[in-house]
């Protein structure tokens, strides 16, 4: 009996002591001090300075939670932030509050309206030591609402991201949706699921889901897949090699254009510009969309660059018929396609093509030619392009022409 009473008394004293400790922590750890303690620990683990403005809120019951507003994340010594957010919530166990050991063990992070400066992020990544030992763990992951990523020539907007769980040694899954803003008025809306073997250099990553390219005069819905090993080094992002596929449908004024596109090559991101060099690409189309294989290079940044050389096995039936003997030949069409200009393909492209001994050089705007093809029956018999063509022999009704040279030079150059 005395033993039971002694145990009960000891338990009561322990409970009172614990209550006093919690009350003391609530008094001593004012919101501002607790916020700086927690964010200081996160910043120390990542080699960053994290500051905030305004009132901080916290909850000590259960898993401690800290909420701060007007947050700015800077690389030490830098005046401009690489990340800012209107609100950040951090939930973390008491063990992390007490020890601040690295790597940090957190429960979850929520960010509202974050804005990420891609160039400054790459500078910070280049300064990081090799290895991933400093990455925090998040048992309940990361949630991002209404985020933005700023880069030279393009921007990600309306980003909503959910990562259910994050650990340096575990597979990673994520769901992201938002808009990719290129040259106005072109936007790419995406709703993608991503997976990685682990968040580390050399890990295999995969992305799949619907995207929709929207322009003032046309739309292009597609379902894409992409995969490859991810590398981050010296502030640069590499997927070497990238395997990309898309099933798409171009919707303009005329009939929809259905096609499938495949691409393979090393994808690199540097200074806000994505490059695929060297690039292998295959296009499989229907109707006026041709089928070809090509190699070359591509870049997406402040402008779009395409430089391809390849071959087209057959002349599409939907294209204007070729005169004999070109139309009867079984030789492939060799071509070189080059474009450097606006993201929405409104600048002129150049095409050099050959079959057997026939040659053609064309400069044109893609969408002007498509519009002409849609209205060919009622419009001008000549396409809106500048062209030079030659062939040793062309058969026409009633005769044969030798040493043919043809030129189209509209009054207003494309």
> Tens digit of pLDDT for each residue in 29-81?
566 666 666 676 667 767 888 888 877 787 766 677 888 899 999 988 888 99
Q: Using the predicted structure, report yes or no on whether residue 250 has a pLDDT greater than 50.
A: yes
Supply φ then ψ for residue 235, to 5 degrees.
75, 5
3-state helix, strand, coil in the chain (%, to 5): 15, 50, 30
- pTM, whole model, 2 decimals? 0.80
Q: Give the strand pairing for 292-300 and 65-74.
A: unpaired
Domain end (from 137, 170, 203): 170
Beta carbons of 154 and 73 less than 8 angstroms apart: no
- Residue 24 in domain: no
Q: Using the predicted structure, report yes or no on whether residue 122 has a pLDDT greater than 70.
A: yes
**pLDDT given for residue 123 in this prediction:** 83
- What stretch of H or E contains 125? helix 118-127
- Residue 221 in domain: no
Closest CA to 199 of 132, 126, 129: 132
Domain end (from 127, 154, 170): 170
- Residue 241 in domain: no
pLDDT tens digits along 69-115: 999 999 888 889 999 999 988 887 766 655 555 567 788 899 999 99
Total tally of structural domains belonging to the chain: 2
Q: Which residues lie below 8 Å from residue 12, measured CB to CB, with a gap of 6+?
A: none
Distance from the Cα of residue 122 to its chain's centroid: 15
- Residue 246 in domain: no
- Residue 10 in domain: no
Q: Using the predicted structure, report yes or no on whether residue 202 has a pLDDT greater than 90.
A: no
Reduced to 3 states (helix: H, G, I; strand: E, B; else coil), residue 278 is: strand
- Residue 114 in domain: yes
Residue with tokens 């402008």: 303
- % of the chain residues with pLDDT over 70: 80
- Residue 370 in domain: yes
pLDDT tens digits along 322-376: 888 888 888 999 999 999 998 778 899 999 999 999 999 999 988 787 777 766 5
Domain end (from 150, 170, 190): 170
- Residue 328 in domain: yes
Q: Using the predicted structure, report yes or no on whether residue 159 has a pLDDT greater than 90.
A: yes
**pLDDT given for residue 167 in this prediction:** 86
Closest CA to 385 of 349, 359, 346, 352: 349
Task: State the residue range of the domain holding 160.
Answer: 30-170
């Amino acid at each position: 009996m005395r033993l039971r009473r002694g145990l009960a008394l000891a338990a009561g004293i322990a409970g009172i002591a614990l209550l006093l400790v919690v009350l003391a922590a609530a008094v001593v750890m004012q919101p501002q001090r607790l916020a700086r303690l927690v964010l200081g620990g996160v910043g120390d683990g990542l080699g960053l300075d994290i500051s905030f403005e305004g009132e901080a809120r916290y909850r000590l019951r259960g898993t401690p939670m800290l909420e701060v507003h007007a947050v700015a994340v800077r690389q030490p010594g830098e005046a401009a932030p690489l990340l800012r957010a209107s609100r950040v919530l951090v939930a973390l166990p008491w063990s992390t509050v007490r020890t601040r050991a690295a790597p940090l063990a957190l429960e979850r992070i929520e960010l509202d309206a974050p804005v990420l400066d891609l160039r400054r992020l790459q500078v910070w990544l280049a300064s990081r030591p090799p290895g991933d030992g400093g990455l925090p763990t998040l048992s309940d992951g990361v949630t991002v609402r209404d985020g933005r990523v700023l880069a030279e020539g393009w921007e990600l907007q309306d980003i909503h991201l959910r990562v259910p769980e994050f650990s340096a040694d575990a597979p990673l899954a994520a769901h992201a949706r938002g808009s990719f803003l290129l040259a106005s008025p072109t936007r790419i809306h995406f709703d993608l699921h991503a997976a990685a073997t682990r968040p580390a250099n050399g890990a295999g990553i995969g992305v799949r889901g619907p995207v929709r390219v929207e322009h003032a005069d046309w739309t292009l819905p597609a379902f894409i897949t992409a995969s490859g090993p991810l590398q981050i080094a010296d502030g640069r992002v590499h997927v070497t090699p990238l395997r990309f596929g898309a099933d798409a449908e171009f919707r303009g004024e005329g009939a929809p254009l259905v096609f499938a596109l495949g691409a393979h090559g090393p994808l690199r991101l540097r200074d806000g510009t994505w490059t695929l060099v060297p690039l292998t690409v295959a296009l499989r189309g229907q109707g006026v969309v041709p089928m070809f294989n090509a190699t070359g290079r591509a870049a997406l940044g402040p402008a779009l660059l395409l430089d391809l050389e390849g071959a087209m096995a057959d002349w599409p039936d939907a294209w204007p018929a070729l005169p004999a003997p070109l139309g009867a030949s079984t030789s492939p069409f060799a071509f070189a396609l080059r474009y450097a200009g606006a993201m929405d393909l409104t600048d002129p492209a150049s095409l050099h093509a050959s079959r057997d001994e026939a040659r053609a050089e064309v400069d044109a705007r893609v969408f002007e030619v498509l519009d002409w093809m849609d209205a060919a029956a009622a419009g001008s018999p000549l396409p809106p392009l500048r062209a030079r063509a030659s062939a040793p022999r062309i058969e026409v009704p009633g005769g044969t022409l030798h040493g043919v040279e043809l030129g189209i030079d509209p009054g207003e150059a494309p």
